[in-house]
Amino acid sequence: MIGTRRDFLKGLGLGALAMSLPTPRRAKAQRAVGKPNIIVILVDDLGYGDLSSYGATDLKSPNIDRLIASGMRFDRFYANCPVCSPTRAALLSGRYPDLVGVPGVIRTHIKNNWGYLSPHATLLPQMLKRAGYHTAIVGKWHLGLQSPNTPTERGFDHLHGYLGDMMDDYYTHRRHGINYMRRDGAEIDPEGHATDLFTQWAIDYIEQRSRTKQPFFLYLAYNAPHTPIQPPAEWLKKVKQREPGISDKRAKLVALIEHLDAGIGKVMDAIKQTGIDDSTLLIFTSDNGGQLNVGANNGPLRAGKQAMYEGGIREPMGAVWPGKIAPGSRSRRVALTMDIFPTVCEAAGVDIAHEIDGVTFLPTLLGQNQPDEDRFLFWVRREGGHYGGKAYYAARYGDFKLVQNSPFEPLELYNLAADPKEETPLARNHPMYNKLFTALRNHICQAGAVPWQKYPVNLNEPLSP
């Protein structure tokens, strides 16, 4: 109708008035024909059961639920690690995190730092720039605190976010008293809740890039709902009024997640309002499972964050691409965070010439038949504290999973098809035990050649508590 009115007014000699009419959404969206815009939203410590679409009964997540319902939901999607940095390294490199130098969490102090992103790793923004994409990260980076491992030195054209790990306060944005907030190369000190800031910065970027013909890649990485569990007061009040009898601990986490959900809803609205929704591939997931001691719900799965059991690594995941991914579709394909790398590259038409470990799941998203690959899957985490700097592992082949849930516990073998809650370990003489043990040993040998510390290491540096 708008186009008809334009023609009508021009026919009357009222060209200026015709041009003052709003631009049709469809005309705006057509500028991105060819290569899709790509947005990956990664949230922090979201439990498998902490969305209403994944079974939560005391929590309302209408916007993430809407996202998932608009495309394909994955029921067996896994983070590459039960903690933050390794999963992020896997997402951006398409590799197992210990093969790019990030077997554990990258932190401020060297004696509590368990990773250094390899200079040899090719990251997703570098790949997409070859195909003409503008690339940006908004939010949490957590793969390096200084040069050369900062986002704009590792392929991103634009950074508006946070270099560090957790924030000690969602409003002051400090860690160990250090300000890690950055806009490109400049230190910034914005006011407001980090979730609100990241939401607005993502919207600003989307609105800016929607006015150009160049496709873009936005990696939107929220800190929420990671500790500290610090929701805005009005969100906590709303949850307590709606959920009588809810504990204070659970109410705070629910409020933090619902506040996050509202922010993601605003980002989704911006995608639609700028007219790029039909030409945008949107992927949503979490970096690891929910933290049980702050009230997280990992659904029917065993354990949570930091654990190699299913509750520590299985994540909610949804992908939307109007006209390409069928709304309301669902997959039981086993996929990992590192598989996002080749999936995005294939969607963008980028050939991958170097070695990666991830496998594209784009055919699955597009509704094509894609049998599960015959592959071993591995998880690793190296950690300090009471772990003593030791690593612990899990490995999977088909439905069989070998788990070492801490460096000081024995390996356990489970058949997830028969025992999804990992309650009854199989005997060590089961043939799959040795098969998985051997594959895991070979992976550890391969990863052992990759440095995970920056040298030289100053072990005399005092370590803050």
Q: Looking at residue 25, what is its pLDDT? A: 33
188 and 43 fall within a common domain? yes
Q: Is there a domain that residue 21 lies in?
A: no
DSSP string, 232-253: -HHHHHHHHHHSTT--HHHHHH
408 and 311 fall within a common domain? no
Catalytic residue, candidates 81, 84, 158, 193: 84
H helices present in 299-430, as ranges: 310-313, 340-348, 362-365
d(CA 461, CA 63): 45
* 84: annotated active-site residue: yes
Out of 371, 388, 406, a domain closes at 371
Q: Is there a domain that residue 463 lies in?
A: no
Q: Is there a domain that residue 246 lies in?
A: yes
Contact in structure between 126 and 133 (CB atoms under 8 Å): no
Mean pLDDT value of segment 153-168: 98
Contact in structure between 162 and 182 (CB atoms under 8 Å): yes
Q: Cα separations (Å) of 324 from 31, 281, 364, 368, 370?
A: 18, 9, 11, 11, 16
279 and 385 fall within a common domain? no
261 and 287 fall within a common domain? yes
Q: Which residues pair with 219 in a beta bridge?
A: 40, 137
User: Where is average pLDDT lowest: 25-34, 42-51, 134-143, 342-351?
Assistant: 25-34
Q: Model-level pTM?
A: 0.92
d(CA 256, CA 440): 37
Query: What's the structural domain count of the chain?
Result: 2
Mean pLDDT value of segment 438-450: 98
Residue-range definition of the domain harbouring residue 330: 36-371
291 and 428 fall within a common domain? no
Catalytic residue, candidates 81, 134, 142, 259: 142
142 and 203 fall within a common domain? yes
* 142: annotated active-site residue: yes
Q: Cα separations (Å) of 31 from 153, 209, 246, 347, 349?
A: 29, 11, 49, 17, 17
| Each residue's pLDDT tens digit, 319-375 | 999 999 999 999 999 999 999 999 999 999 999 999 999 999 999 999 999 999 999
Q: Which amino acid is at 54?
A: Y
Q: Looking at residue 354, what is its pLDDT? A: 97
Out of 371, 406, 431, a domain closes at 371
Out of 355, 371, 387, a domain closes at 371
Q: Which amino acid is at 101?
A: G
Residue 86 φ then ψ, to 5° = -60, -40
350 and 409 fall within a common domain? no
Q: Is there a domain that residue 295 lies in?
A: yes
235 and 364 fall within a common domain? yes
CATH number at residue 76: 3.40.720.10
Q: Which residue has the higher pLDDT, 208 or 20?
A: 208
419 and 303 fall within a common domain? no
CATH number at residue 412: 3.30.1120
49 and 183 fall within a common domain? yes
Q: Is there a domain that residue 1 lies in?
A: no
Q: Are strands 391-397 and 400-403 parallel, antiparallel or unpaired?
A: antiparallel
362 and 433 fall within a common domain? no
Mean pLDDT value of segment 61-82: 98
278 and 388 fall within a common domain? no
Contact in structure between 200 and 161 (CB atoms under 8 Å): no
pLDDT bucket at 28, cuts 50 / 70 / 90: very low
The answer for 173, left when phi > 0, alpha when psi is -120 to 50, beta otherwise, is left
Q: Of 138, 133, 92, 85, which Cα lies nearest the Cα of 112? A: 85
Q: Looking at residue 8, what is its pLDDT? A: 33
Q: Which residue has the higher pLDDT, 25 or 422?
A: 422
Q: Is there a domain that residue 57 lies in?
A: yes
Contact in structure between 84 and 288 (CB atoms under 8 Å): yes
Q: Is there a domain that residue 12 lies in?
A: no
Q: Looking at residue 19, what is its pLDDT? A: 35
| Each residue's pLDDT tens digit, 241-297 | 999 999 999 999 999 999 999 999 999 999 999 999 999 999 999 999 999 999 999
d(CA 229, CA 337): 25
Q: Is there a domain that residue 142 lies in?
A: yes
